[in-house]
């Protein structure tokens, strides 16, 4: 007995496609000017409010991030048509996304050599979900669908790893005395750190939970809008968005759990070489 494959997404007619395209932002000089104004405004507000941490001023980071995003999207937009036609290039592009996400997460969490371990929670969250989708046939190995779906899931693992790792390490630094007290009471190093870091790291799940709880009531996320503009029915668009949100919850839960474990075991630290792990 064979199992019927899931029906493909509806292909919009030429008229629908033109209508959808006309509803998008026009790519012209006006758009460029508005983007520049918004970027300057964001950087100006960050500068006026002196938004910063111990490592960077966010006014400069906002400008850098905006310019970098423009360059990267220009390059990707140029290459994407060729990449999706070659399976090796497609898989290499996904691997590149994973590598960049791991590097970004690691350097956001810590500046010492343990940043490399951030690749573990990013991959532990995204890889099982991508493999599951490929094995079930919901996500084809060939074609353009793999890149955005893998990108969304890897991005979710990146965000969860950064938030969970930073908050866990900050909490351990601030409450180092409580860690030592727990160890004096008979807790192991891992158990003591876990008790202190777990509540803080768990907060990394809050953005994803709030987005899922309020979808359709507060926001209509990108997957819903994109599929709808592509000509699919509202029901199909809603199903795709639900899939994205649930998959992201799974990815983020896995990434936070693995990040917490690595921090609790002293694998990811902010200690300088030769210093004791907090």
Question: Looking at residue 167, what is its pLDDT?
Answer: 95
- Last residue of one domain, picked from the residues 64, 83, 102: 83
Cβ pair 137, 6 in contact under 8 A:
yes
Q: Are residues 68 and 98 in the same domain?
A: no
* Residue 266: band (very low, low, confident or very high) from pLDDT cuts 50, 70, 90: very high
Residue 15: inside a domain: no
Question: Looking at residue 91, what is its pLDDT?
Answer: 87
* Residue 251: band (very low, low, confident or very high) from pLDDT cuts 50, 70, 90: very high
DSSP string for residues in the chain? -PPPPPPPPPPPPHHHHHHHHHTSPP-SHHHHHHHHHHHHHHHHHHHHTT-B-SS-BHHHHHHHHHHHHHHHHHHHHHHHHHHTT-HHHHHHHHHHHHHHHHHHHHHHH-SSGGGGGGHHHHHHHHHHHHHHHHHHTSS-SSSTTHHHHHHHHHHHHHHHHHHHHHHHHHHHHHTHHHHHHHHHTT--HHHHHHHHHHHHHHGGGHHHHHHHHHBTTTB--HHHHHHHHTT--HHHHHHHHHHHHHHHHHHHHHHHHHHHHHHHTTSS--PPTTSPP-
Instruction: State the residue range of the domain holding 203.
Output: 87-278
* Residue 272: band (very low, low, confident or very high) from pLDDT cuts 50, 70, 90: low
Residue 18: inside a domain: no
pLDDT above 80: residue 212 = yes
Report pLDDT digits (tens) over 231-245: 667 787 788 788 888
**Residue of higher predicted confidence among 136 and 10:** 136
Residue 125: inside a domain: yes
Report pLDDT digits (tens) over 9-42: 444 443 344 444 445 567 788 888 999 999 999 9
Question: Looking at residue 25, what is its pLDDT?
Answer: 67
Q: Are residues 66 and 114 in the same domain?
A: no
Q: Which residue matches tokens 């809603």?
A: 238
Residue 128: inside a domain: yes
* Residue 222: band (very low, low, confident or very high) from pLDDT cuts 50, 70, 90: low
Report pLDDT digits (tens) over 73-114: 888 888 887 887 788 888 899 999 999 999 999 999 999 999
Tell me what the mean pLDDT of segment 166-177 comes to.
94
- Last residue of one domain, picked from the residues 47, 63, 83: 83
Q: Are residues 245 and 155 in the same domain?
A: yes
Residue 197 corresponds to which tokens in the numbers above?
Answer: 């870091």
Tell me what the mean pLDDT of segment 178-198 comes to.
92
pLDDT above 80: residue 115 = yes
pLDDT above 70: residue 64 = yes
Q: Are residues 58 and 103 in the same domain?
A: no
Residue 174: inside a domain: yes
Residue 259: inside a domain: yes
- Last residue of one domain, picked from the residues 48, 83, 118: 83
At residue 153's C-alpha, the angle toward residues 250 and 138, to 5°, is 85
Average pLDDT of the chain is 84
Q: Are residues 174 and 255 in the same domain?
A: yes
Residue 260 CB burial class (10 angstroms; 0-12, 13-18, ≥19): buried
Torsion of the alpha carbons at 256, 272, 61 and 252, rounded to the nearest 10:
0
* Lowest mean pLDDT, pick from 52-61, 63-72, 248-257: 52-61
Q: Are residues 94 and 79 in the same domain?
A: no
Question: Looking at residue 196, what is its pLDDT?
Answer: 93
Q: Are residues 105 and 38 in the same domain?
A: no
pLDDT above 90: residue 265 = yes
Instruction: Tally the domains of the chain.
Output: 2
- CA dist 20 and 228 (Å) reads 8
Sign of CA dihedral 264, 269, 274, 278: negative
């Amino acid at each position: 007995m064979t199992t019927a494959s899931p029906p493909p997404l509806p292909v919009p007619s030429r008229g629908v496609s033109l209508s959808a395209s006309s509803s998008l932002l026009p790519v012209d000089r006006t758009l460029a000017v508005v983007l520049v104004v918004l970027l300057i405004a964001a950087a100006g507000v960050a500068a006026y409010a002196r938004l910063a941490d111990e490592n960077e001023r966010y006014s400069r980071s906002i400008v850098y991030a905006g310019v970098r995003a423009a360059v990267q999207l220009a390059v990707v937009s140029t290459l994407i048509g060729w990449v999706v036609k070659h399976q090796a290039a497609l898989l290499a592009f996904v691997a590149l996304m994973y590598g960049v996400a791991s590097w970004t997460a690691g350097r956001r969490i810590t500046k010492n050599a343990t940043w490399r371990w951030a690749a573990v929670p990013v991959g532990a969250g995204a890889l099982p979900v991508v493999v599951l989708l490929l094995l079930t046939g919901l996500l084809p190995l060939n074609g353009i669908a793999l890149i955005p779906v893998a990108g969304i899931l890897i991005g979710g693992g990146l965000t969860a790893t950064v938030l969970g790792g930073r908050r866990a390490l900050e909490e351990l630094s601030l409450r180092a005395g409580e860690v030592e007290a727990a160890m004096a009471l008979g807790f192991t190093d891992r158990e003591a750190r876990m008790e202190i870091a777990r509540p803080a790291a768990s907060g990394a799940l809050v953005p994803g939970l709030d987005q899922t709880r309020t979808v359709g009531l507060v926001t209509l996320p990108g997957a819903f809008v994109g599929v709808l503009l592509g000509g699919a029915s509202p029901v199909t668009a809603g199903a795709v968005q639900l899939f994205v949100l649930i998959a992201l919850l799974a990815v983020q839960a896995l990434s936070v759990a693995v990040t917490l474990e690595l921090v609790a075991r002293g694998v990811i630290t902010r200690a300088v070489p030769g210093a004791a792990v907090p």
